[in-house]
Amino acid sequence: MKLLLQGGLIIDPKSGLEKKLDLRIEEGKITEIGSNLIEGESEVLDVRGKIVAPGFIDPHVHLREPGGEANETILTGCQAAAAGGFTTISAMPNTKPCADNEGIIELVKNRGSRAGLVRVLPIGAISKGREGREIAEIGSLYKAGAVAISDDGNPVTSSEVMRRALEYTKLFGIPVISHSEDISLSAGGSMNEGYWSTVLGLKGIPAQAEEIMVARDILLAELTEGKLHLAHVSTSGSIKLLRFAKEKGIHVTAEATPHHLLLTDEEVKSYSTNTKVNPPLRGEEDVHNLRMAVKEGLVECIATDHAPWCQEEKEQEYSKAPSGISGLETAIPVIWDTLVIKGNMSWLEVIERFTVGPACVLNLDRGYLAKGHEADITVIDPNLRKEVKAENFYSKGKNTPLDGRSFQGWPVMTIVGGKVVMQDGKLKG
């Protein structure tokens, strides 16, 4: 089986390549990148006017299985990822039971490969039961295939436990992903604290609830020389702290979500629970500073924090409804529209945040195009403009505040290991 992607604009941030070229795939690998490649017996895919990029990597998704199958399964999550233009996703461990043991890591890995769509990389828990008391068997998790550890959804409240986790993971070289939240400040809150929380009468969560933990974890990363990755940073203060840490040479990386880069807390005025997310949507200045930080590369990757919930879960009173946005199937157009069309980022820079960035965070030999390398490819139509239709999501979670909004720059093909898994928004095979 040979494929020839013909006439696309190939953008590979790692090598800096940005040129109209053909790309041939054989036996799941890239065999040729060049101009006017002969068709031969290859099946030709016409990608003129499209961008051919390394497969996009989402380092932060929730697949809900095991335990939350009403909201998502590994299969439907993989379908959403493929439809959304991602070739690799890493799954957070807050399932029921949680991935604090190698059994769950194996399960996620196996069901991920059985789905046969995208690559699923499990993330293990930091602590047993994600309770923040004792560190989990991180060695076993690593051996079973965990690419990182995180108690995402919960912060590690004990500084001592976080310290040990950052120290112990040095043995394996995997990052500790921090869900930075001081729960004594955020408890009971359901949106950003500020003018809008006052107007809407909802309990606010101050930016400092995030920043205090970001600061703590940066200092612990300095102490331990471990690898810290900050999940979903959302405030101006977190960005200042990140800059401080990087200038000091502390090993810290960070991700930002499409929703925090697009929406402000004003969105909550509809009381639509699809705007409820943790960390909450922030103020205008935060959104602006976050965009600048992504542009600059201070925040090196985009992560969806895909958090699917079924309708019943979200159809509750705002303060009772669970937090989360179903993000896999809108991430690329949201970012393209916001940061390229309406922003000042180049195509290459944006692609870098979806490929090289997350690959670097998770230590993956992925996120680039090269001869002999596995053919994981995302093809984007930079001119395609269409509306988000949540009802058509492959994900079981239709919980998006973006339903009905129009964005430009959609993925039109996802190729994983040489196999086309999505074409024109539809799954194949």
Partner 1 sequence: MGIESKDLLSMEQLDCGQVKLILQTAKEMEKIIRRDIKKVPTLRGKSVVNLFYEPSTRTRTSFELAGKYMSADVININTTASSVVKGESLKDTGKTLEAMGADIVVIRHGMAGAPKMLGSYLKSRVINAGDGFHAHPTQALLDMMTIKENLDGFQGLKVAIIGDILHSRVARSNLRGLTTMGANVWLCGPPTLIPPGLERLDARVTYNMEEALEGADVVIMLRIQLERQKTGFFPSIREYSQLYELDRRRLALARKNCLILHPGPINRGVEISGEVADSIQSYINEQVTHGVAVRMALLYLMLGQKGE
- Active-site positions read 305
Cβ closest to partner 1, residue 54 vs residue 283: 283
CA dihedral (138, 120, 406, 284) in degrees, to 10, reads 10
Could you tell me which residues are beta bridge partners of residue 406?
387
Minimum separation from the CB atom of position 264 to partner 1 (A): 13
Binding site for partner 1 (CB under 8 A): 193-204, 271, 312, 315-320
Residue 348 C-alpha from the chain's centroid = 18
Asked whether 186 and 197 are in contact (CB, 8 A), the reply is: no
Cβ closest to partner 1, residue 147 vs residue 200: 200
Cβ closest to partner 1, residue 44 vs residue 70: 70
Cβ closest to partner 1, residue 110 vs residue 311: 311
Which amino acid, one-letter code, is at 17? L
Cβ closest to partner 1, residue 278 vs residue 355: 278
Minimum separation from the CB atom of position 31 to partner 1 (A): 55
Q: How far is residue 252 from each of residues 15, 101, 201, 235, measured CA to CA in Å?
A: 24, 26, 36, 16
Say how far apart CA 353 and CA 332 lie, in whole Å: 11
Asked whether 104 and 127 are in contact (CB, 8 A), the reply is: no
Say how far apart CA 8 and CA 29 lie, in whole Å: 18
Minimum separation from the CB atom of position 318 to partner 1 (A): 4
Minimum separation from the CB atom of position 273 to partner 1 (A): 8
Token code pair at residue 216: 């703590």
Token code pair at residue 93: 């461990």
Q: How far is residue 105 from each of residues 92, 98, 366, measured CA to CA in Å?
A: 10, 9, 21
Beta carbons within 8 Å of 73's beta carbon, 6+ residues apart: 63, 64, 65, 396
Beta carbons within 8 Å of 249's beta carbon, 6+ residues apart: none
Cβ closest to partner 1, residue 331 vs residue 390: 390
Minimum separation from the CB atom of position 195 to partner 1 (A): 3
Minimum separation from the CB atom of position 190 to partner 1 (A): 9
